Amino acid sequence: MSGENNAEIDKQLVKRVQEGDKRAFDLLVGKYQHKIIALIGRYVYDQDEALDISQEAFIKAYRALPRFRGDSAFYTWLYRIAINTAKNHLVSRGRRPPDVDIDVADAQYFEGENKLHDLGSPESNLVREEMDQVIKKVLDQLPVDLRVALTLREFEDMSYEDISKIMDCPVGTVRSRIFRAREAIDKEVSPFLK
């Protein structure tokens, strides 16, 4: 995950859910759905099955949320629930879960020792590769101030304040540049999801 700010926003969303705002959970689902489905896809190779288990994992997470105290990051906690849900699913169908759990750090990354990219569906991998290329192209074509702001944020995990010092501009300008860069990417990404 990308640093303290990311964990902080999760913490705030979790707190909102715990305080009774169920809708805040939608944002957590929206944020993590693709990662959780990919994680569960390492246990079951059928996409529909992975979707069902992912849904079950999120529902279990919601039900367990009152007991979540924030000792670990929300994603780490959600990841454990997803893994256990996948394993229970396999056991309940008489299939043997893997003996070794997937490490949370390995599970997140596309490339790695476990060659995660081999485990996705061919269509999924193809779409992903295309989107990867599109995003790189958009980044290359962005005006330099937008590209630098987004790069410092996404790859260096810098706060808006730190970026504003480096770029010698107000924090509000950083916020706007990052947003405009994301919008430029989103404009090219969204057709892949329709």
Partner 1 sequence: MHEKSFEPISAMMDGEIEAFELRRLIERTSNDGELKDKWGRYHLAQDIMQGRSVEMSDTVDLVSKVSAALETEPNYRTTVIHEVDQLVSKERPQQSPEEPSQWWKPMASMAMAASVTAVVLLGAQGYSTDTSVGPTVDLANVVKANEGFPQGKFGNQLSTVSSSNSQPVVKKMAYGMRQYIQQHRDLLANKAASWQANWLPQGFSKVTHRVSNKSEVLLYSNGRATVSVNIEPMGSQVASQGVVTSDNLLAYGVSADKKFITVVGDVSPDVAAKIAASVTITTQ
Half-sphere exposure of 66 (CA within 13 A, CB side): 2
Query: Whole-number minimum distance, CB 65 to partner 1, in Å?
Result: 7
**Among positions 43, 44, 54, 77, the unique one binding partner 1 when judged by CB under 8 A:** 54
Is residue 73 within the footprint of partner 1 (CB under 8 A)?
A: no
**Among positions 78, 82, 146, 185, the unique one binding partner 1 when judged by CB under 8 A:** 185
Query: Whole-number minimum distance, CB 102 to partner 1, in Å?
Result: 10
| Dihedral over alpha carbons 108, 27, 136, 114 (to 10 degrees) | 10
User: Is residue 97 within 8 Å of 151, Cβ to Cβ?
Assistant: no
The rounded distance, in Å, linking the Cα atoms of 39 and 97 is 14
Question: Is the CA virtual torsion 127, 27, 72, 67 positive or negative?
Answer: negative
Residue among 150 and 168 whose Cβ is closer to partner 1: 150
**Among positions 26, 46, 103, 156, the unique one binding partner 1 when judged by CB under 8 A:** 26
Half-sphere exposure of 127 (CA within 13 A, CB side): 12
User: Is residue 119 within 8 Å of 45, Cβ to Cβ?
Assistant: yes
Number of residues in contact with partner 1 under rule CB under 8 A: 85
Is residue 176 within the footprint of partner 1 (CB under 8 A)?
A: yes
One character per residue 87-126, x = contact with partner 1 (rule: CB under 8 A): xx--xx----x---------xxxxx----xx--xx-xxx-
**Among positions 49, 55, 167, 173, the unique one binding partner 1 when judged by CB under 8 A:** 55
Residues 145-164 that bind partner 1 (CB under 8 A): 153-155, 159-160
Residue among 144 and 193 whose Cβ is closer to partner 1: 193
The rounded distance, in Å, linking the Cα atoms of 164 and 85 is 43
